[in-house]
Amino acid sequence: MRYALISDIHSNLEALNAVLDALLKERIDQYICLGDIVGYAADPNECTEIIRQVAETTVLGNHDSAAVDRTSIEGFNALARTAISWTADTLSSKNKKYLESLDTNMVFEGDLVVHSSPSDPTSWRYIFSVDDAKMEFQHFTGRACFVGHSHQPVAFVNSKNRVVMDTRTSLDIEDENRYIINVGSVGQPRDLDPRASYAVYDTDQKTVEIKRTEYDVEVVRTKIVKAGLPRFLGDRLLAGR
């Protein structure tokens, strides 16, 4: 099976469409969304409707949860709170019901998918460091856990209880190791690369590839400004930060 793993779309329709166009060439069997369909950019309904159609499985992200009042916005910064409030007012009732229906984690092929971290999915913890990953490996039993949330693609490899960070874009999944793999962000990368990020997981070849594709950032930036959202939310897309 070949799985497409996409995360942190954040209402960025142009980035989502660019990723889906690129994935048409990948012989994908199933699409899995790791959450945060909405937030920040100006097309929450359009992005939610596309994910409803293409993703066999989607887990809940923190912005999705906040937009339907399942998570308090008090823990978000001021810009994110503004975007979440705008998103909540903009989402259709149908799309709100869809977001409300999402679970925080799921298992496929024995591997775990969660938006933030396996230890406590609704605390929205980040996995930035080897120390973070060491703790999180204790909270799932499968070979791999796929996450988003930080907007930074990276893998943490646990080999014989030694955890290392791996930033390669192509990773062999070896039976004797365990993995936490962040697939990066479709709609708001924060690794200084403005291109949309996503992953392809081939369970037959036992490989995970992090892929990037360009999209029209200026169109998204203009939409954000026209919607009355903070200009910085568009400006940051230009630099991938």
How many CA atoms lie within 13 Å of 154's alpha carbon, on the beta-carbon side?
Answer: 19
Strand arrangement of the beta sheet that strand 105-108 belongs to: 105-108, 111-114, 144-147, 177-182, 154-159, 162-166
Categorize the per-residue pLDDT at 24 as very low, low, confident or very high, splitting at 50, 70 and 90.
very high
Does pLDDT of 68 surpass 90?
Answer: yes
- By the 8 A CB rule, do 84 and 73 touch? yes
CA distances from 119 to 27, 41, 126, 200, 226 (A): 33, 29, 11, 24, 39
The whole-angstrom separation of Cα 3 and Cα 29 is 6
Does pLDDT of 102 surpass 90?
Answer: yes
What pLDDT is recorded for position 90? 98
Mean pLDDT for 21-49 is 97
SS in 3 state form for 9-61? CCCCHHHHHHHHHHHCCCCCCEEEECCCCCCCCCCHHHHHHHHHHHCCEEECC
Name which of 172, 206, 189 is nearest 19 in CA terms: 189
The whole-angstrom separation of Cα 239 and Cα 217 is 10
The whole-angstrom separation of Cα 51 and Cα 56 is 9
Write out pLDDT tens, residues 176-185: 999 999 999 9
- By the 8 A CB rule, do 49 and 21 touch? no
- By the 8 A CB rule, do 130 and 163 touch? yes
The amino acid occupying position 171 is L
Categorize the per-residue pLDDT at 75 as very low, low, confident or very high, splitting at 50, 70 and 90.
confident
What pLDDT is recorded for position 52? 97
- By the 8 A CB rule, do 83 and 39 touch? yes
Does pLDDT of 161 surpass 90?
Answer: no
CATH number for 2-239 (one of 3.60.21.10, 3.30.830.10, 3.20.20.70, 1.10.1510.10): it is 3.60.21.10
Per the listing, tokens 């142009």 go with 14
Per the listing, tokens 């930080």 go with 150
